[in-house]
Amino acid sequence: MKGKREEPRRERKKPVSRKSAPLGDPFAEGGVRPKKKSGWAAFWDSGKGKILVAALSCLAVFAIVVAVVLKTWIKPPEIPVNGPQDPQEPAANQTQQTQTPKDEEPAGPTDDELYPDDGYNGDMPTVSGNRKEGVYTFLLVGTDMDDGNTDTIMVVSYNTKEQDINIMSIPRDTMINESWDIKKINSVYSRTGSSISSLANRVQKLIGFKPDFYVKVELEMFVKLVDLVEGVEFDVPQDMNYDDDWQDLHIHLKKGLQTLNGQQAMELVRFRRYSEGDIKRVEVQQNFMKALIKECLKLEHWGKIKAYIDLAMESVETDLESGSVVWFAANVLGLNGVPALKMENVNTCTLPGDYWGSAWSRDTNQEQSYVTIYPRQVVELVNESFNPYEQKVTTAMLDAMSILKNGDIASSTGSLKDTRHNVIMAVRRGEAYYDEGGNIVYGKPPAKPEQDELGNWFIKDEEGNVVYTDEKGNPLTGDPGLPPENEPGQPVVFPATPTDGNGGDPSGNQTDPGDTTPADQPDNEDQTAPDLTVPEDPEAPPAEEPELPEEDPVDTEKPGWL
């Protein structure tokens, strides 16, 4: 039978037991095999270990690169030389606004208690020099939705070493030294073309230094932030009811402790109808801000830090770089090697001043409420909690406005930008007037002449006496019906023959009333009357005077012409 050819079977060898096998030479041919590798050595020999090490090395290099990048991105900001800058203006074009005071004293009385002499005799000094380590300052601004004014203005100081934050509110009615009529700090932003730098310059004149950075917050972002933390618990101080269809603003909140959502929080901070005035509104804003910060710092919201940053980047205008924003956020949360910020280290206050002042407005023709600062108290507060420089702020660095008792305004610098206000107040007080050419004349204006029943113009002096004048009010000398005293009058010609006033003489002879020639005398101008005088005899006795008849009492009446 044909088929495949089978190979001869090999004889199997019996396995040799390791125990009974001779050791022999392990290096000799046919000797004992080496031990089999296991664990990391076998994994490395397989090639997979080498791949893993290479991958880990790449990850380490990548982590180092990321750390370096984050270190250069997430870092504390560099302090600008001149504080906040407008985005549209380069820093080189920014000039610090200073004022040069006049040599003369400010008009009106001064208050030495409010405005002490600090050796201020030149350009307004500014704080500068070495800075305190880890202290940063910010100008926090909130714009109003209806008119673009910055009704929320706060100065914030953050000490990143000591982990404390100080917040000072500047009332929106704070008076500043400006040429326009209503001189409130909240009008600077809108009047200077939305210039943050201009607003920062004005703030500097109130507190003595210019904040390092600015943060401008829209109300829309404020609403979103409150909703992001799912509401803020707050004790509303009073019932709030206000409707303004023009602004589409409707506020209806009940008094008491409650959780406010974003819309309700916006209504709270915009409400103004307090019996205590705008200072109460500032207090409510400060208290709500502390409650909001407290809510944001809760551990349950730490996972929202990226959402916080994204919201800030899209809804907040600032000159801080995004990496600096992240660095500040990490520092607040205690991720930069320092303890986390505690709420007891967040302090709020208000710019010290007189919150109940008012001054006349020529635009509105009524009184405007103002806040005028107390320089001594401002300097003390700033140096204690806000000044980032080692050099102290002095009252000479402030431009403090004041409202005098007579309605005039004054600046502590002695240089007042509004030159019209005090002139208008002098006119209102009757101390000055405008002449026909529109020029201001100090003194009492001349009285306007009046006419009596005869048509004569007159005025009355301070004692009430009548003084006759011309139509323009210039005084006249004498009575208006007589010729002036310095001009001679026309002579009066009396008739030679007495008349009875009817053109005849008493004897009954009719004569021409205008004829002054006697009746028995010829009407001849060249004729000379003869001398009928009889020479007197020196020896003759004196002639006796004839007796005159007694006068009839009826005929004793004198003619009317006498």
pLDDT tens per residue, range 186-196: 999 989 988 99
Q: In this model, does residue 223 exceed pLDDT 60?
A: yes
- pLDDT score, position 98: 38
Over residues 86-95, the mean pLDDT reads 47
pLDDT in tens, 248-270: 889 999 999 999 999 999 999 98
Over residues 43-68, the mean pLDDT reads 58
- pLDDT score, position 103: 37
CA distance 280 to 236: 12
CA distance 232 to 188: 32
CA distance 301 to 407: 53
Q: Look at the alpha carbons of 180, 184, 185, 186 in this order and tell me if their dihedral is positive or negative.
A: negative
- pLDDT score, position 119: 36
CA distance 88 to 196: 10
Most confident of 63-77, 89-103, 178-192, 288-302: 178-192
- pLDDT score, position 174: 97
Q: Which long-range contacts (CB under 8 A, 24 or more apart) does 407-413 make?
A: 407/359, 407/360, 408/107, 408/108, 409/175, 409/359, 410/106, 410/107, 410/108, 410/110, 411/106, 411/177, 412/114, 412/115, 412/375, 413/99, 413/101, 413/120, 413/124, 413/177
- pLDDT score, position 311: 85
- pLDDT score, position 49: 62
Q: What is the DSSP letter of 174?
A: B
CA distance 521 to 527: 10
Going by C-alpha positions, the residue among 307, 217, 305, 220 that lies closest to residue 262 is 220
Q: Quickly list H helices, 476-546.
A: none
Residue with tokens 């010290």: 352
CA distance 288 to 227: 14
- pLDDT score, position 489: 53
Over residues 417-429, the mean pLDDT reads 93
Q: In this model, does residue 490 exceed pLDDT 50?
A: yes
> Which residues is 253 bridged to in the sheet?
240
Report residue 4: phi and psi, to 5°. -70, 150
Are the beta carbons of 179 and 187 closer than 8 angstroms? no
- Measured torsion, CA atoms of residues 374, 375, 376, 379, in degrees rounded to the nearest 10: 120
* CB contact burial 49-84 (16+ within 10 A = b; e otherwise): eeeeeeeeeeeeeeeeeeeeeeeeebeebeeeebbb
Q: In this model, does residue 153 exceed pLDDT 90?
A: yes
CA distance 236 to 163: 29
CA distance 77 to 212: 10
User: Which of 444-453, 472-481, 539-548 has the weakest average pLDDT?
Assistant: 539-548
Q: Which two tokens stand for residue 326?
A: 């992240």
Q: Look at the alpha carbons of 501, 507, 508, 511 in this order and tell me if their dihedral is positive or negative.
A: negative
Share of the chain above pLDDT 90, in %: 36
- pLDDT score, position 118: 37
Q: How many CB atoms lie within 10 A of CB 166?
A: 20
Q: With bands split at pLDDT 50, 70 and 90, how would you rate the model's confidence at 52?
A: low
Q: With bands split at pLDDT 50, 70 and 90, how would you rate the model's confidence at 27?
A: very low
Residues in the chain: 562
Q: In this model, does residue 393 exceed pLDDT 60?
A: yes
Q: With bands split at pLDDT 50, 70 and 90, how would you rate the model's confidence at 304?
A: confident
Strands 240-244 and 135-142: unpaired
Going by C-alpha positions, the residue among 390, 362, 396 that lies closest to residue 378 is 396
Are the beta carbons of 228 and 217 closer than 8 angstroms? no
User: Which of 108-112, 286-290, 453-457, 466-470 has the weakest average pLDDT?
Assistant: 108-112
3-state helix, strand, coil in the chain (%, to 5): 25, 20, 55
Question: What count of Cα atoms within 13 Å lies in the side-chain half-sphere of residue 493?
Answer: 6
Contacts of 432 (CB under 8 A, 6+ apart): 423, 426, 440, 441, 442, 443
pLDDT in tens, 157-186: 999 999 999 999 999 999 999 999 999 999
Q: Look at the alpha carbons of 84, 89, 95, 97 in this order and tell me if their dihedral is positive or negative.
A: negative
- pLDDT score, position 93: 37
CA distance 405 to 107: 12
Over residues 405-415, the mean pLDDT reads 95
Going by C-alpha positions, the residue among 190, 186, 77 that lies closest to residue 135 is 77
pLDDT in tens, 425-447: 999 998 898 887 888 888 887 77
Most confident of 66-80, 428-442, 459-473, 496-510: 428-442
CA distance 52 to 58: 10
Over residues 100-119, the mean pLDDT reads 39
Q: With bands split at pLDDT 50, 70 and 90, how would you rate the model's confidence at 114?
A: very low
End-to-end Cα distance, the chain:
206
Q: Where are the beta strands (DSSP E) in 443-536?
A: 450-451, 457-460, 466-469
Higher pLDDT: 352 or 470? It is 352
